Amino acid sequence: MNTQTNTEVKHYLDGMREALADLPAAEVAEIMDDAGAHVVEVAEEMGDEFSLAALIDRLGTPRAYAEELRAAAGYPSPTSTAADTGGDRLVFPARFALWSLVAGTVMAFGFAVTRGDALEVTVLVGLCAAAATLLVFRQKGLLTAITRLPETVAIRDALTKVLKSDLGKAFESLRVFQPVWWIGRALLIAAGGTLVYRPDLMFVLALALAALSLFAGPKARTDRRWLWISLPATGFALGVLLAVLSALVLRFDTYPISAPVSYTPSPPTRHNIYVFDKDGKPLTDVHLYDEEGRPLNATWYGCTGADRHDNRYPRPRVVHDERGCHEEPGVPFTVVMPTLPTTTTAPPSTVTQSPAPTTPIPSTTTPPTTATTTG
């Protein structure tokens, strides 16, 4: 932009700032940050055709544009009266909307930190916050009534003091990173609903809330009605972040890197025993005992859910497949029994006969012997 354009844009912005002079300085600065960027963008789009009159034709007079932003942010007009906003008629719904916003933000944070505890209370508060959100968007003048509540004024004054402090100035310097936070907040909400908590129930809801929070972030800077979505979303995202960090710290403390690891092997668990004879044939209905005569009992669970605790083997195999649960008897494998070496007999010994004696032996006549075999 040239010098003439810069000067006219500056005059236009000064007129807007003057129309908003009755608001707190922090609120004026926040509104003017967004509005000033928009005015400069419109002026650049006009190019050589830019003029103050053309800018007024496009956006309206500085006061009219400031009043439009004031109404969107929920601030009353300087000339408005209590009768303009319904007077006492809106006090109760305004107070209900304000405290529903506070309670919804706190409960969203607590629900995230506790990983879904106190679900009934959270749902109840969430319904109140949702009703308050619809009321703020649909009830004309309700946002103005909320800004006039004594508690709202006290909160605004406290925030103004904080922003003027050194801590507030430090946080003010982080405003340029707000778009990064909006994206990070949406990611935390999606992660909290799909990974940390109940993914089967909160998957679609978490994605919808993440997208809505991403849209509500920049809108809430100029339209305060979107705070009823942006603040609870911030509370939930901060709760998810704290829960994740706590889980990481607990895991680090539970498994220290420098601690020695001891390992004691546990005894093997007996599920089934198969018994075979010497030929490799499986035996059934065998009762087994140890060397001291104690039965080798073990628990077995079938498809019916009833358990059996005895020393009778082998047990049927429980199989789960496309047919469901069923029990299969028999042995699921084959065995080959080892072959024992055969025993060899020694060869017959040779008998050496001595020579016959030289002395003649007198012959004796003996009667023949008869062998009887009983059948």
164-205 pLDDT, tens digit per residue, is: 777 767 777 777 788 888 898 888 888 776 655 555 556 677
pLDDT digits (tens, 9 = 90+) for 143-170: 878 877 888 878 877 777 776 777 767 7
pLDDT score for 363: 46
- In DSSP notation, 280-304 reads S-EE-SEE-B-TTS-B--EEEE-TT
Dihedrals phi, psi of 341, to nearest 5 degrees: -65, 140
3-state secondary structure of 318: strand
pLDDT score for 306: 64
What is the Cα–Cα distance from 114 to 180, expressed in whole angstroms? 26
pLDDT score for 85: 42
Whole-number CA gyration radius for the chain: 47
Residue with tokens 């006219």: 8
Q: Are 278 and 229 in contact (CB under 8 A)?
A: no
pLDDT score for 46: 81
Low-confidence ranges of the chain (pLDDT < 50): 81-86, 259, 261, 263, 265-267, 350-354, 356, 358-359, 361-375
- Which residues, including other chains, have CB under 8 Å from residue 44's CB and lie 6 or more apart? 1
Give the closest residue to 272 by CA, choosing from 249, 247, 301.
Answer: 301
Q: How many angstroms separate the first and last alpha carbons of the chain?
A: 138
Give the closest residue to 212 by CA, choosing from 186, 187, 249, 235.
Answer: 186
The amino acid sitting at 60 is G
The number of C-alpha atoms within 13 Å of 168 and in the hemisphere containing its C-beta is 9
Residue with tokens 């107070």: 95
Q: Are 45 and 88 in contact (CB under 8 A)?
A: no
Q: In which element (H, E) is residue 308 found?
A: strand 307-310
Q: In which element (H, E) is residue 66 found?
A: helix 62-73
The token pair at 357 is 């004696």
3-state secondary structure of 215: helix
What is the Cα–Cα distance from 277 to 29, expressed in whole angstroms? 94
The token pair at 68 is 């439009």
What is the Cα–Cα distance from 299 to 266, expressed in whole angstroms? 18
CA dihedral 191, 193, 199, 204 (to 10 degrees): -110
Largest CA distance in the chain: 172
The token pair at 277 is 């004879």
Q: Are 313 and 297 in contact (CB under 8 A)?
A: no
Give the closest residue to 148 by CA, choosing from 194, 208, 87.
Answer: 87
Residue with tokens 């198969």: 274
pLDDT score for 348: 54
pLDDT score for 194: 60
The number of C-alpha atoms within 13 Å of 283 and in the hemisphere containing its C-beta is 12
Dihedrals phi, psi of 309, to nearest 5 degrees: -130, 95
The number of C-alpha atoms within 13 Å of 55 and in the hemisphere containing its C-beta is 26
